[in-house]
Structure formats: C-alpha cells, structure tokens
Amino acid sequence: MTKKTTPAKKTQVAGYNARQAPINARLGHDELIALYRDMVRIRRFEERCLRSYQQGKIGGFLHLYIGQESIAVGCVSVMGQHDHIITAYRDHGHALAVGMGMNEMMAENYGKYTGCSKGKGGSMHYFDPTRNFWGGHGIVGGQIPLGVGLAYALKYKGRKGAALAFMGDGAVNQGAVHESYNLAALWSLPVLFVIENNGYSMGTSQDRSSAGPSLAERAEGYGMNWDIIENGHDVLEVRDRVAAALKLAHEQSLPSVLEIRTYRYRGHSVADPDTTYRDKKEIEDYKATKDPLMFCQNQLLAEKVLTQEIIAKIEESARAEAETSAQFAEASPFPTADDIQKDVYWEADNPADRKSQGALFFS
Amino acid sequence: MPVITYREALRAAMSEEIERDPNVVLMGEEVAQFNGAYKVSEGMLAKYGPKRIVDTPISEAAFIGMGVGAAMLGVRPVMELMFFSFYSVAFDQIFNNAANLRYMSGGLVNCPIVIRGPANGGTNVGATHSHTPESIAAYHPGIKVVVPSTAYDAKGLMKSAIRDNDPVLFMENTLLYGESGEVPDGEYLVPLGSAKVMREGADLSIIGHGRAIQLALKSADLLKEKHNISAEVVDLRSIRPLDEETILASVRKTNRALYVEESKPFCSVGAMVAAIISDKAFDHLDAPVKRLTSIDSPAIYSMPLEKLQLPSVDRICQAALETLK
Ligand SMILES: Cc1ncc(C[n+]2csc(CCOP(=O)(O)OP(=O)(O)O)c2C)c(N)n1
Ligand SMILES: [Mg+2]
C-alpha cells in the first residue's frame, strides 16, 4: 500500500538567514563556541557508549543520537528556567544538553547504582527533575501526553514556562499523540511538540508510515501553529525557529507542532545492522553535506570564532570526559538485591510517613 | 526428526497457514521489509507478497483494532506486537472489543484474531518492555492465552491459534527464539488447552509455563543429581483454556506442587493454579502449594540484578526443597 504525496508547504521566507536572526546575531563568541562544544560532547559520549556496548558493558538497547545533535543543543539553548523537557528513548543528547553529567549517564548505561536512575532505568530512561528533564521514555509516543501535562501544570500554577515534548517521525502515528494535540489546542496549553524527523522509524521510511503532505501540517486540523525546520542540522536555525514557537507559548500560552528535519547515522539501535532499508550512500551524502558538527564548525571557522587550536582542545576534553565517565561507570558498584524493591512506592521508601496499611509487596 | 529453532517453528506455522487459508494475513511493525524485529517473519514478504505480509505504522491501537474489525468480516489476522508489552497501547481494542464482541452480540459476531509477540524479561530492556501479562490477559473471558516453551509447541499451538474462532493472545519469548528442538516436517496441531508432562516424577510437581519450563527441567536434573529428588515437570502451554485435569493428576500423584513463572506474584497464573489445586486436590496435598515468580517490582534494568529478579535454577531448586521440607 503506497500513498500519494503532495509537496510540503514552504514555511520558510525567501532570503531567510538564521545566522542573522536576532537571537543568534547577539550571541558572543563564548556562547557560539559553547553550542559547538555541546554537540561535540554528545557525539564523543555516544561513541564511547558504543564501545562499551560492544564490550558487553551495556545491556538492552542503545539508541544513538549521532547526527541529530543540533536539535537537542539548539532547543535547550533557547529554553528558560521555567521551561521543561521530555523525550523518548533516544535521550542522551537531551540529557547532556540540559546539563546532566556524563558520569551519571554512563553509569546508568552500565546498570550501576551511581547512575542517574540508580541503574533501574537504563539508557532509554534517564531523568533529572532538577534540570526540568522528565525522561527518557521507552514506549513510542507515550511521553507526549506527559509533555501536555507538564504544560498544564505550568499554566495551572501560573508559571511563565512551557514544555518541549520530543518525539520521532514514527511516533506521530500514535493515537495518544493526536489526543494530546487536541487537548493542547483546546485548552491553549504552552507546549511545543517537537518532531525530530530523521526520516525513519526503525526500518520504515516516513513515506511508508505517514499519510499527508508533512508531519507538522497535521497541526492544521487542530488549528495549531506549526513550522517545518528544513535545516535541522543548523543549530542556529533550530534556535531561531524554536524560540519563535516558545515565544508564542510563553506570551500567549499557545501550543505548536515543530517538525525538524534531521538524520540518524547509526542503526535504529546498536542491534540494528542497518543493511536493508537505506543506502549507505544516503548516509555518506548527509554526513558530507549536513553534518551538524561540521556545519557549525565550518561556519564558526569562517567567522574566525573557532580556531584549529580551540577545536582540538574541545575534542580532547570531550574525549577525556567520555573516557572518564566509562572509568567511573566501571568502578561503580551495582545496586544490591535489596534495591530491587526500593523506589516502587513512595510510602515504602518513607515508612515514617506511611498512612496506608496492609501489604504493599507480595511473593 | 528435523531440529529447528522456536523462531523457525513459528515461521513455519504461519507460512503453512497462509498457504492453506487465503484469509490469513500477517501484520505488524517491521514484519515485512525489515523481516521482523526479531526475524520471526524473515523471508515471508518475499515469499507471500505485500498483500499477505503487511508493515504497519506505529499505531498499535489502530492496527490491532483494525484486525478485530477485519476478523468480524472473515479475515484471519495474525498481528505481531514487536514486544508484547505494547499490548497496553491497544488494551481497549483487545479487552473491550475483541474479548466482548461475541458476548455482546449474543453470539452473532466472531473474532478469529491472533495477537502475538514476545512477552519476557531477561534482556535488560527495562520496565516498559518486559511485561509478562499472561494473567492479565487470561483474566478476560472471551480471550484465550497461549505460551509455548518449545519449538514443537510453538508450531503446533500457532497453527491451532490461527484456526481458532476466538481471539488468541500468543506470548512468545525473545530468549527462546534461538532455542532449537525437534519439529516434525509438515502438518500437526497442538490443541489449545492441553498441558504436557515434560518429565515424569514422584516427589513433587513443578508446574509452570513459558521459559520457566526450561529452567524447571534443568532444576529437576539438579534436584535428582544432588538431592535424589524426583520432580515431575508440567508445562501448561495454554493458560486459557487451562488443562485442569493434567495439573490435578500430577498433584494427586506427587502430593506437592510448586508453580514457576516469570510474572509478578499478585493474581498470577500460579495464584490461579494454586487456588484450583486447593479447591480440587486439597486432600492430596502434603504441603501448601508454593509459587515462585519474579521479585515483585517493575523490571529492573541493571544486568546482574535482573538475573536476580527473575526465576532461576537456583531459586527453583531452593523453592522445591522448601516444599519438600
Ligand atoms: C508503543 C511502541 N511500539 C513500538 C515500539 C518499538 N519501537 C521503538 S522505537 C521505534 C521506532 C520509532 O521511530 P521514530 O518515532 O521515528 O523515532 P526514532 O527512533 O527515529 O528516533 C519502534 C517501532 C515501542 N518502543 N513502543
Ligand atoms: Mg525517526
């Protein structure tokens, strides 16, 4: 069964230049370099994760974000202190972007007690509420209603913030996503639905999974603002366009659907041999022309913001940071058998304040 | 007899049924072009084409519900859940629609659908991907539940499930897909609702389902070797319909029962079986029916800890010894 396609509506005005947008034009050298550095750190961390996975140190799934770094870094860089973020299982990039440490992340992947979720969640389930990061979710589309809930809570409490709820191009076909769109639009909730469109959901290309001219345009049916960010590899373009939607959320409590075009270099997860559904050439072409790190590096080199020395330093320190995290994870203890039944019920973990009676656990 | 894997046995069953009945369709995420996330359907698209082997979007509620609707009109859909855990996305379609249609229509409507996929822990995929909902599913009158533990049963039960006129939830296991066993060439059926005595014994009955049976067989070997205990092992194979007679006959013979399963303890299949035994074979029991399940918490990710959380040969032997005290 194949669908008929009509070309996507152009959302970008002619002559648009993301670098010149006010939100980017005012960036100082340090801020520009920080954007680049954050993307490099994500990539080197994940490359180190891959090695650990291959050494059998990491179990289960490992979904790498390599190729998509500009999105997490761009989005988080325009978030304010009352903005919140939630995403799916491909969560390493968002976690590093919000400021989580490589040590706690790598330790989580190793299933260690020093991990961000004490080794209970694994790579797909990172959380850091202190940084407004609400996970890391394994069920496709399952996090999107929660994102709406974050927005609802912000509005309820009268805080001037918004929620960014990330999903993939495959997740848009879950019923919960559509129900969420309706609630957000109906109740004017300050939420940005951010679709990281990397072209594939596992081995299924967007064409084979999704009807309609574009994913973002589905927002029309709900009377919601939407935008397609074609150059998702350009961290500055991501910043500018996401900031515009964020402004709508902050100032008018309006939701948006943002579709950001991007690409993943690795298989769906490390277990996917990635040999059946796309050409190697497609990957190579993207890397050669649109790699987010390379694109940013070239731009900043041309502007003389970056120099070869600075790049080398950033590289060296990102690699060292990732290596240290692997050593930290390796040296950390596993949880103990007693930990298995901790963190299940608040009351069981806080026996002094327990109000209910009766057995909570069974055997 | 030819030896094939559990995965190949499932594929053979589905292929034979697709060839036999033009109404049988296999559908699910990545089942066609990608050859299945766990390669159960490998080669089937090439062989049977895109009308019979269909890739779906990630829309469990819609495609399972669509299967239920199509079943009403005589299609016999075999719906793959990449992980059985994703059944909860389609919960309403399965337990409100598929389970109740026949009843609410006063018997006018049938729903011959198979919903299949792996339901197991032990691969460190975390709490969201490690659900074992046998008892939750079997709780619902109108639903049948099957859990094969060997390649032979995987094939014979799958063929019966596809021919069944009621909705069948067929729970597989990623850790068993690669396990081999003897499977005869060609047609045979294992009826739903027949348990199997996997090993005869005299001192206690270890009853269970799914991969726990493989562990129970190893435990029975060890119990013999180290303690000279003769354990009978009974594999339910089908949870609903349930072969009460085989369970009760075994308990009447050994006078002791241990139920082993990977699910959580609350209202588990073992809890149901224990109730049946105490109801119908109380006078034959020399000890309370013992149950061994996963430790009662969501599935932990951490690799060595997940091993501790799940039933193991060690834990089964220990439980058996306690039953015999
Ligand atoms: C409800 C549910 N169905 C299926 C899966 C298995 N699964 C995990 S990721 C994935 C593909 C998702 O693709 P997309 O939304 O494009 O995100 P990407 O992986 O490209 O980041 C699938 C089918 C799941 N985790 N949850
Ligand atoms: Mg995708």
Interface test with A, best of B302, B303, B306 (most A CBs within 10 A): B302
Q: Which ligand is nearest to the CA of B58?
A: 1
Six-digit token string for B265: 């303890």
- Tokens 């691969």 label which residue? B123
Six-digit token string for A257: 């659907």
Where chain B has pLDDT below 70, the residues are: none
Element (H, E) at A348: helix A346-349
Say if the Cβ atoms of A60 and B126 lie within 8 Å: yes
Q: How far is A250 from chain B (nearest CA, A)?
A: 32
A204: helix, strand or coil: strand
pLDDT of residue A1: 52
Please, which residues have CB within 8 angstroms of residue A90's CB and are 6 or more apart in sequence?
A63, A64, A65, A68, A168, A196
The β-bridge relationship of strands A84-86 and A204-205 is unpaired
Taking CB atoms and an 8 Å cutoff, what residues of chain A touch B33? 203-204, 208, 276-277
Taking CB atoms and an 8 Å cutoff, what residues of chain B touch A174? 58-61, 89
In chain B, which residue's Cα lies nearest the Cα of A169?
Answer: B58
Please, which residues have CB within 8 angstroms of residue B221's CB and are 6 or more apart in sequence?
none
Residue B308, burial from CB neighbour count under 10 angstroms (0-12, 13-18, 19+) = middle
The one-digit pLDDT tens for each residue of chain A (363 residues) are: 555 544 445 567 788 999 999 999 999 999 999 999 999 999 999 999 999 999 999 999 999 999 999 999 999 999 999 999 999 999 999 999 999 999 999 999 999 999 999 999 999 999 999 999 999 999 999 999 999 999 999 999 999 999 999 999 999 999 999 999 999 999 999 999 999 999 999 999 999 999 999 999 999 999 999 999 999 999 999 999 999 999 999 999 999 999 999 999 999 999 999 988 999 999 999 999 999 999 999 999 999 999 999 999 999 999 999 999 999 999 999 999 999 999 999 999 999 999 999 999 999
CATH of A19-205+213-353, one of 1.10.3720.10, 3.40.50.970, 3.40.50.620, 3.90.1150.10: 3.40.50.970
What are the residues of chain A with a beta carbon less than 8 Å away from any beta carbon of chain B?
Answer: 1, 59-61, 111-112, 117, 119-122, 124-125, 137-142, 170-171, 173-176, 201-204, 208-210, 276-277, 334-335, 337, 339-341, 344, 361-363
Q: What's the sign of the alpha-carbon dihedral A90, A93, A96, A98?
A: negative
Q: How far apart are CA B173 and CA B149, in angstroms?
A: 8
Taking CB atoms and an 8 Å cutoff, what residues of chain A touch B304? 111, 334
Question: A242 φ, ψ to 5°?
Answer: -70, -40
Number of A–B residue contacts, CB under 8 Å: 133
For residue A18, the 8-state DSSP code is G
A104 CA to centre of ligand 1 in angstroms: 25
Catalytic residue among B8, B29, B80, B129: B129
A62: helix, strand or coil: coil
Q: How far is B70 from chain A (nearest CA, A)?
A: 17
Six-digit token string for A92: 């390493």
* B129 among known catalytic residues: yes
Taking CB atoms and an 8 Å cutoff, what residues of chain A touch B89? 139, 141-142, 174-176
Q: How far apart are CA A283 and CA A296, in angstroms?
A: 19
pLDDT of residue A14: 81
Say if the Cβ atoms of B29 and A202 lie within 8 Å: yes
Question: Could you tell me how many residues make up chain B?
Answer: 325
pLDDT of residue A3: 57
* The one-letter amino acid at B311: P
**Own/partner long-range contacts of B218-223 (Cβ < 8 Å, ≥24 apart):** B218/B313, B219/B313, B219/B316, B219/B317, B219/B320, B222/B313, B222/B317, B223/B317, B223/B320, B223/B321
Question: A134 φ, ψ to 5°?
Answer: -105, 30
Question: Could you tell me how many residues make up chain A?
Answer: 363
Say if the Cβ atoms of A276 and B33 lie within 8 Å: yes
* B244 among known catalytic residues: no
A203 CA to centre of ligand 2 in angstroms: 9
pLDDT of residue B68: 98
Q: How far apart are CA B28 and CA B58, in angstroms?
A: 9
Q: How far apart are CA A73 and CA A236, in angstroms?
A: 10
The Cα diameter of chain A in Å comes to 68
Catalytic residue among B8, B17, B29, B60: B60
Neighbours of B275 (CB within 10 A): 11
Among residues B271, B292, B290, the alpha carbon closest in space to that of B134 is found at B271
Taking CB atoms and an 8 Å cutoff, what residues of chain A touch B124? 59-60, 111, 122
**Start-to-end CA span in chain B (Å):** 41
Q: How far apart are CA B135 and CA B269, in angstroms?
A: 5
Domain boundaries, chain A: 19-205+213-353
Beta bridge partners of B235: B196, B208
Among residues A283, A98, A320, A304, the alpha carbon closest in space to that of A200 is found at A283
C-alpha distances in angstroms, A140 versus A32, A124, A152, B57? 33, 11, 21, 11
In chain B, which residue's Cα lies nearest the Cα of A136?
Answer: B128
The ipTM (two decimal places) reads: 0.96
Residue B29 CA: nearest ligand 1 atom is 23
A173 CA to centre of ligand 2 in angstroms: 12
C-alpha distances in angstroms, A4 versus A1, A342, B56? 10, 52, 17
* Per-residue H/E/C for chain B: CCEEEHHHHHHHHHHHHHHHCCCEEEEECCCCCCCCCCCCCCCHHHHHCCCCEEECCCCHHHHHHHHHHHHHCCCEEEEECCCHHHHHHHHHHHHHHHCCHHHHCCCCCCCCCEEEEECCCCCCCCHHHCCCCHHHHHCCCCCEEECCCCHHHHHHHHHHHHHCCCCEEEEECCCCCCCEEECCCCCCCCCCCCCEEEECCCCEEEEECCCHHHHHHHHHHHHHHHHCCCEEEEECCEEECCCHHHHHHHHHHHCCEEEECCCCCCCCHHHHHHHHHHHHCHHHCCCCCEEECCCCCCCCCCHHHHHHHCCCHHHHHHHHHHHHC
